[in-house]
Amino acid sequence: MISTITFYLAIVLFLGSCFGYGFVFGKIYKNLKRWEMKVIFEKNSALLATFLLTFVLSLVTFTISFYTSDSSLVANPNPFDVVLSFFSVIGLGSSVGLFAIFFFFRYFVLKYDEKDKKFIQFALFVLGLCAVVFFFLVGIANGNYLAYPLCNAIYIGKHGIAFVNTHVAPAPFFVGGKADGGLTIALYAVFILLGGLGVYALCDHLMFKHYGHHGMVTTTFFIAFPMGIVGARLWYCVLDISKCIEEGTVSVFVKNPIEILKVWNGGLGIMGGVMLGILSGVIVVAILKYVKKDPKFVGVSLLRMLDYIIPTILLAQAVGRLGNFFNCEVHGNEIPMESLGWLPYFIRANYAFDGAIPCTPGMVYLPLSLMETLTNLTGYFVLHFLFYRGMHQYHIEGSNLGFYFIWYGFTRVIMEPLRYGEYKYDFSYTFAWVLVYGGVAFVLLFALAKVLREKKLLFFKNSTREEALLIDISASKKVVLRNFIILVVVVLAIAGLALGLTLGLK
């Protein structure tokens, strides 16, 4: 009874804190033109502190619910693990809650001097790092008391609200493999949505920062994101059909084409989503700029938009791959569990399942989803901070589109041969090389266009290149070299983590 009460109390506190944050942020944003930074803190610090505390309490209450449940796994927990768990969730809640506040002020308020800006940026870095550390501590503290495979969905229905695993389909939430008297929200879908919304917020900030308007990417997002889902579904269907042809069988999508529409049954191919999403986004912006002649877009450089929006797709892909982790899918062949000994137990234990089917005792599956998350994060740093911002005037306008295809193409070239059984598609490997070659072609095309522009041999009637330069084109070679060295060190640090993972798998 205590566990049930605290569980639902935790949900109420969590939702209350989210709505509270949204209310305060909305009020601040509405009054930005009238309020200075000092006034903002004076008027809203008490409310922000209240909702921060509410958010922390929601995590603490959920932890109480976990340790007071009737599960045999938590019957006799180690006292040290319990103390570490509560300490970690308090740290995690505080870090995430404060990060949200500083993130809002950094990217939406923009009314502070250079000293405040540096402090906020430093705070975001520290809080982000702390959030990651505390998250892993929570997993370490509770890892031995969790049921595996981990939950991959949220059930909402006549049996209440619960975290469930649809592969296991536990009673009473499922009958005959289907949700009983309710619905399930897949964590995979949640992560895809979070990745998309995060990228939208980042791109919206970049557009506002350089062009002074919020909402410039709203139309593009609400068209490109759904089209990305459509492309991902169609790509999965094409992969399934191609694999069945190779095996001499007939795909279910050929037997019954209506199955293509049943996205809720699972099956998305990220390469198709990327292709159709980018294409539709570019078309929307081109229409707004050249056909509709929207005043907000007339002075916008389409090539520069490609430079800073395209790399953010890698961030969305990195977040989306977390859904594969919870779904226990898209992994490689079996390897000894000790090969992942440097990872927390809760991660290793979940990689021991393909859906609900455990692998050989003492073995785990090659964590391709984790490896791709790391490579995608590395790719974002390379494309945005090194190629775009770090190289200053030496950067070729629009070339990040090509570099994205090259980076992601090589990622797939490396990952595809490592996939396990049903997740391996020869067509994906072949198309990955198409992405690489296509990316090279785009880079060469934009390089040629730059040379022709500089030699005044190419003329754009609606060109706004000079007005739309979003980086400092007057940087000295010394500054460029400094940025290059610093960013290479950062990239190598992240890439080193991915390489360490790969070497540890031998």
59-76 confidence digits (pLDDT tens):
999 999 999 887 778 878
Same domain, 210 and 329: yes
Same domain, 198 and 138: no
CA 297 to chain centre: 27
Same domain, 135 and 245: no
Q: Could you list the residue range(s) of the whole structural domain that residue 76 is in?
A: 2-146
CB distance 349 to 325 below 8 Å? no
> Does residue 177 form part of some domain?
no
pTM above 0.85, yes or no: no
> Does residue 241 form part of some domain?
yes
Same domain, 335 and 210: yes
d(CA 401, CA 380): 12
> Does residue 234 form part of some domain?
yes
Q: Which of 102, 142, 106, 200 is nearest to 350 (CA)?
A: 142
Average pLDDT over residues 479-506: 54
DSSP H stretches of helix in 398-425? 399-415
* % pLDDT > 90, the chain: 17
**Which of 17-26, 413-422, 441-450 is modeled with the greatest confidence?**
17-26
CB distance 70 to 3 below 8 Å? yes
> Does residue 74 form part of some domain?
yes
- In order of 25, 211, 295, 305, 325, the CA distances from 203 in angstroms are 19, 12, 19, 9, 27
Half-sphere exposure of 367 (CA within 13 A, CB side): 31
Per-residue buried b or exposed e for 284-305, using 16+ beta carbons within 10 Å of the residue's own CB: bbeebbeeeeeeebeebbbbbb
d(CA 405, CA 400): 9
> Does residue 339 form part of some domain?
yes
Kindly report which listed range (21-25, 37-41, 89-93) carries the lowest average pLDDT score: 37-41
What is the pLDDT, as a whole number, of residue 105? 82
Half-sphere exposure of 9 (CA within 13 A, CB side): 16
d(CA 421, CA 424): 6
Burial class (CB in 10 A: 0-12, 13-18, 19+), 319: buried
**Which of 97-101, 114-118, 382-386 is modeled with the greatest confidence?**
97-101
E strands, 387-478, where? Answer: none
Same domain, 115 and 250: no
Burial class (CB in 10 A: 0-12, 13-18, 19+), 268: buried
pLDDT in tens, 333-347: 888 888 888 888 888
> Does residue 462 form part of some domain?
yes
Same domain, 196 and 254: yes
CA 432 to chain centre: 21
Same domain, 476 and 334: yes
> Does residue 181 form part of some domain?
no
Output the average pLDDT for the chain. 81
Peptide bond into 344 cis (omega under 30): no
Confidence label for 463 from pLDDT (cuts 50, 70 and 90): very low
Rg (alpha carbons) of the chain, rounded to whole number: 24
CB distance 378 to 495 below 8 Å? yes
Can you state the angle between helices 312-327 and 302-309, rounded to 10 degrees? 30
Same domain, 212 and 320: yes
Which value, to the nearest 10 degrees, does the dihedral of the CA atoms of residues 198, 202, 208, 209 take?
160
> Does residue 167 form part of some domain?
no
What is the pLDDT, as a whole number, of residue 86? 95
Confidence label for 94 from pLDDT (cuts 50, 70 and 90): very high
CB distance 432 to 413 below 8 Å? yes
Same domain, 348 and 420: yes
Same domain, 492 and 437: yes
Same domain, 103 and 220: no
CB distance 331 to 344 below 8 Å? no
DSSP H stretches of helix in 143-217? 187-211
Task: Look at residues 146, 177, 212 and tell me which one is the last residue of a structural domain.
Answer: 146
Confidence label for 491 from pLDDT (cuts 50, 70 and 90): low
| CA–CA–CA angle 153, 159, 164 (5° rounding) | 20
Same domain, 468 and 409: yes
* 3-state DSSP assignment of residue 363: strand
Strand 353-354 relative to strand 174-175, pairing: unpaired
Task: Look at residues 146, 178, 197 and tell me which one is the last residue of a structural domain.
Answer: 146
| Domain count of the fold of the chain | 2
Q: Which of 265, 277, 177, 264 is nearest to 222 (CA)?
A: 277
Residue 364 confidence (pLDDT) above 50: yes
CB distance 237 to 427 below 8 Å? no
End-to-end CA distance of the chain: 48
Task: Look at residues 117, 146, 175 and tell me which one is the last residue of a structural domain.
Answer: 146
